[in-house]
Amino acid sequence: MAVISTALALAFGAGLAGSAVHLAHAEPRKTTRLAFSVGSSMSASGSRLSGGRSIGSPTDGHLVGGVRVEESPWLRIVPCHRDEDVRWGIDPLVSSIDRGARAVRKQFPDSVLSVGHLSRREGGEIDAHASHESGRDADVGFYVVNQQGKSIFAEHFVPFVGDGTAPSWPGAKFDDARNWAFIASVVTDPRAHVSHVFVATPLRVRLLAYAQRIGAPYATRVRASEVMAQPRAGLPHDDHFHVRISCPPGMEGCIEQPTRNVARARRGHTHTRAHAVLATPPPVPLAPPASPIPATGTAEHERAHPKGSPVPSEDLPAIPAAPAPPAPPASLESPIDDVDGVEGDGEGDGK
């Protein structure tokens, strides 16, 4: 009986061993690949941080336990920046960019988003930037196609002009449809509140005109017009979008508006391309004028609209030519005009 029990035990053990070997050599299950990897760390109170914390402001801050952007079928790191590892941010920013890239790829299957600098792993200063310090800023390249409408890519960001061409890249076209699809995704993302998309005015106008032509939702067009803007000083952001998100609700230590980096100013540190100052734009009109339009045939109407002059439409109000300044946090008395905290430093515009 003991011999039988021993034999059974040996057979059972051999079976388990065989199963273990089989499992060890089994093919891994297919999983959905994400275009980012999540880091984590412990906060001062001992609680684990998931997706990172933005501490301080975009121009004077650091990053704790952030998320790293990884390349995927729908997202690439611009080749000239691959070895720099300046691709860390808080989860709402990185996830929103990933969702935007996926949304574009879903509509245009050959699309791949080009991503440049975000922040360093622990945040802090980056050469050629006045911001990007606290994990809430990202430089994103434009979607570009050739004359046949196929996606093409460069080793670095390339400037475009208002007609959608690139003087330094013959045959390349700024793709209105893909770029608008990305902007529409990030500005309406319910899990990340975009506060700014810095971009050159001619390209902003081009995108809003395209959105109006295709009948994009009016609320999305107004939202995009509010956040897209060209910085007032320095270079105009004609070769990429600079996306900035607001502090996530409840994130302690995160400062919404850019602040002056005193240490940098004392060192006289300059930036070749630093996002400096956003011009203060007029407010966005969301409704037609309140004053009544004079009745046709009256003297007042004839004075306002001489014969042959067009009569303004009373339909949907047009998208404004300039964005409204973002509402300031409740703790501030007025909006901060210097969006990168470098006003008065004599610094240029950055990226």
Nearest Cα neighbor of 241 from 272, 275, 211, 210 is 275
Query: In whole angstroms, what separates CA 305 from the centre of its chain?
Result: 44
Residue 1: C-alpha distances to residues 4, 7, 14, 143, 229 (Å): 5, 10, 20, 76, 86
Q: Is the pLDDT of residue 139 over 50?
A: yes
Which residues on adjacent β-strands are paired with residue 197? Answer: 228, 243
Residue 211: C-alpha distances to residues 99, 185, 232, 307 (Å): 20, 13, 24, 32
pLDDT of residue 137: 96
| DSSP-assigned letters across all residues of 97-140 | HHHHHHHHHHHSTT--EEE---B-TTB---TT-SS--SS-EEEE
Computed on alpha carbons and rounded to an integer, the radius of gyration of the chain in Å comes to: 26
Q: Is the pLDDT of residue 94 over 60?
A: yes
Instruction: State which CATH number among 1.20.1250.20, 3.30.1380.10, 3.40.50.2300, 3.40.50.300 fits the domain covering 57-267.
Output: 3.30.1380.10
Q: Is the pLDDT of residue 114 over 50?
A: yes
Q: Among 62-66, 299-303, 336-340, which is the least confidently predicted range?
A: 336-340
pLDDT for 219-237, tens place per residue?
999 999 999 999 887 678 9
Predicted TM-score (pTM) of this structure: 0.67
Q: Rounded to the nearest 5°, which phi and psi values hold at 343?
A: -60, 130
pLDDT for 46-92, tens place per residue?
333 468 999 999 999 999 999 999 999 999 999 999 999 999 999 99
| DSSP-assigned letters across all residues of 61-88 | EEEES-EEE--BTTEEE-GGGTTT---E
Residue-averaged pLDDT of the chain? 73
Residue boundaries of the structural domains of the chain: 57-267
Give 335's pLDDT tier (boundaries 50, 70, 90). very low
